[in-house]
Amino acid sequence: MKPTLSLTPDHRKELNEYFEDTIASLEKYFAIEDSAAGDDLKQAQAVADTLTDTVHSSDTDCSYYPCVLTGPNPLDDSFFAALGITRAQRASVSGWDNPKLEVVAAGKGDNHRPALALITRLNDDELEEISEYLGDEEQKALNAAITKLETIGPVVGVQLCTDDGASKVVLTLARRPSGTHVGVLTIRIET
């Protein structure tokens, strides 16, 4: 059974209008719904509200949208199995070789990355020179979103290369005690 990814109806419509191929591909892997349990969506919206004037920078800038993910824990093998993707599977995005699905927990140590890296998708060397990539206001907004996520629960980043060959869906989520993940979704276009 596919994991469920919930968005608000207006946001789903907006994403579909601007990223039709990406969203069509996303529906291959997730059951997409226009709503989620009220409290889950409220927490996701609170995270997104801190990012109102912030965009994810790639070849096409994209806002951060509130989302709710239900189903297997993204860190477990069952999540990969539910999406029909193996951990070793690769995908070409605009000619660059990538993991088809990458799931990383926020933190320090092996197999962890800073939460700021998960929400921005900046590499470690880019994080060291962050002022070259993000202005002060963007950094404040992103750090506020991370703080909200951390108060909800452990933070995880999910990046899925979609089948259009040019985009990645980036989820930055916190795990609630119920097991539901709430946070934000953005689209990374690489052309």
Number of domains in the chain: 1
For the domain that residue 90 is a member of, what is the CATH number? Answer: 3.40.1460.10
Whole-angstrom CA distances from 122 to 28, 53, 103, 173 are 27, 19, 15, 17
The one-character DSSP state at 105 is E
Instruction: Give SS3 for 117.
Output: helix
CA angle 39, 71, 42 (to 5 degrees): 15
pLDDT digits over 4-52, tens only?
Answer: 999 999 999 999 999 998 889 899 999 999 876 689 999 999 999 999 9
Cβ pair 161, 185 in contact under 8 A? no
Amino acid at 52: T
The number of C-alpha atoms within 13 Å of 119 and in the hemisphere containing its C-beta is 34
pLDDT digits over 104-143, tens only?
Answer: 999 988 889 999 999 998 888 888 888 888 888 998 999 9
The number of C-alpha atoms within 13 Å of 179 and in the hemisphere containing its C-beta is 8
Predicted confidence at residue 124, as pLDDT, reads 84
On the question of pLDDT at 1 being above 90, the answer is: no
164: containing domain: 4-189
